Amino acid sequence: MAKPQPSWALGASEQDAPASPRTMRTLRKIQSHQVLSTSSALIAQTQSTRQVGSSGAGSEPAANPGATTRTRGHRRARSNSDAAAREAAATQPATQRRPARKTGSGIGVKRSLLDVLLRDGPQSANLHEGLRELKYLVLSSRVDADGDGMSPYRIYLWLILLDVPAMPTDDYLALIHRGRSPAYAKIRNDTFRTLATDPLFKRRVTEASLIRLLNAVAWKLHDSRPKPRSRPTSSRRREMELLVNTPPSIIEESTFGGELDKVNNVTTADSPMYVQGMNVLCAPFLYAARSEVEAFALFHYFVTRECPGYIRGAMDGVHKGLRLVDRCLEIVEPKLAAYLFSKGMHAELYAFPSVLTLCACTPPLPEVLHLWDFLFAYGPHLNILCIVAQLIRMRDQIFESPSPNKILRSFPPLDAKEIIALTVLLVRKIPEDLYAEMINHAK
């Protein structure tokens, strides 16, 4: 058997012959082994050089610097995306390097009192005192947020203030997987117009997420409706025939009569699954939340517990709120109210969107979020006085205009700090009976 010749001893024809796949795999394995071996040797050499350099300042350089240069050629080249930064870091003196910035709750990070209270909880075991302190901090100091109104803990503040329990994600997904609700067509007619001129909202919230959330709320409201009772069976009709000669009072106290009255009452007080304007009321929840589940839990709780009258029937709660705007304005600013009434300008003509959406229809959105911090802390009913406060801040423009309708057609941009400060002053001027109506007008 002939001894195999090395590659340099083969002829030209044999060198030009293509290598077999097995030979190529063997060559790749050998090359990979050489690269790994070279990298390991380079790492070991670098570590030994650092150790020698740290032992004394007069250490000698490596005996063969060319070997190091050759071994570096086998290393895998990195991308040039951070080449400039690495070169600058290498040339920058050690004395000018900035210390590593600490994040989270470490030393050197300034945290507000509101942030500390939310993270650590109240110092005492009294939850009522802790909640009172939390509300006071919301009033005295604004929630820390960036220029877009985003805060890392605002959504948790809302969940605490509204006392919304945690919701499993699977429950929300089950509502999504049910498909289109009976109110889907109405929802699609409104979602594309939701805060259409607000670039912050359009950049963060998609129309698809808004449709999913409103459709899930519609399914939830649909499921909460009582199912209509079936007609009495033949045996039940016979029992009713036996009661023909029975006094009416006894018939009314029967089980069937009570159930019929209950069904009739529910039918008259039944609420739709979606009304126009719910899309705008839902928008700040989606903008501030970290997930659709959080936004859904907050929004569903709000429309069913805090302001069910806003979405019931003909929006009776909204119309009550509009009448309260006129009455409160007449008490705190009688001259301004008289001027508007003389021009035929009642709140129903200009304040309907502001009452229904808790001023979310008035930009900018970051100021809306700050205003909602205050409303959720001390009650959404104070939105009535927030609208009155906006009218008072527009007082000079309204008096100078012969047609206030043009001015009130669109309110000026919100200034949450000024509106909240003025609202706190207006609360003292409202009689107790009128204030009680404000609290219950949306129920």
pLDDT at 56: 47
pLDDT at 113: 85
d(CA 316, CA 309): 6
Inter-residue contact 26 to 34 (CB < 8 Å) = no
Long-range contacts formed by 136-143: CB under 8 A, 24+ apart = 137/113, 138/114, 138/373, 138/374, 138/377, 139/374, 139/377, 139/378, 139/420, 139/424, 141/112, 141/113, 141/114, 142/370, 142/373, 142/416, 142/417, 143/114, 143/369, 143/370, 143/373
**Which value, in Å, is the radius of gyration of the alpha carbons in the chain?**
36
pLDDT at 271: 58
d(CA 31, CA 26): 9
pLDDT at 114: 81
pLDDT at 22: 52
Asked whether the CA dihedral 177, 159, 280, 314 is positive or negative, the reply is positive
pLDDT at 115: 81
d(CA 362, CA 198): 10
pLDDT at 76: 40
Q: Which residues contact 150 (CB under 8 A, 6 or more apart)?
A: 288
d(CA 348, CA 256): 43
Asked whether the CA dihedral 370, 375, 380, 386 is positive or negative, the reply is negative
- Superfamily of segment(s) 308-443: Ypt/Rab-GAP domain of gyp1p, domain 3 (1.10.472.80)
Inter-residue contact 388 to 420 (CB < 8 Å) = no
pLDDT at 24: 54
d(CA 329, CA 434): 12
Segment 21-50, tens digit of pLDDT: 455 544 544 554 454 445 444 445 545 544
pLDDT at 119: 82
pLDDT at 89: 45
SS3 239: helix
How many other CB atoms are found less than 10 A from the CB of residue 285?
A: 23
Asked whether the CA dihedral 336, 337, 342, 347 is positive or negative, the reply is positive
Inter-residue contact 176 to 293 (CB < 8 Å) = no
- Which tokens is 159 given? 């969940």
Segment 348-397, tens digit of pLDDT: 999 999 999 999 999 999 999 999 999 999 999 999 999 999 999 999 99
Inter-residue contact 149 to 366 (CB < 8 Å) = yes
pLDDT at 110: 63
Low-confidence ranges of the chain (pLDDT < 50): 1-17, 21, 25-26, 28-29, 32-33, 35-37, 39-43, 46, 49-109, 232-233, 236-269
d(CA 86, CA 88): 5
Whether the ω angle into residue 364 lies within 30 degrees of 0, i.e. cis, is yes
pLDDT at 403: 83
Q: Helix crossing, 334-342 with 316-332: angle to 10°?
A: 120
pLDDT at 135: 93
Residues in the chain: 443
pLDDT at 86: 43
Full DSSP string of 341-381:
HHTT--HHHHSHHHHHHTTTTSS-HHHHHHHHHHHHHH-GG
d(CA 419, CA 393): 9
Each domain of the chain, given as residue ranges in start order, spans 113-141, 234-268, 308-443
pLDDT at 309: 94
d(CA 62, CA 72): 15
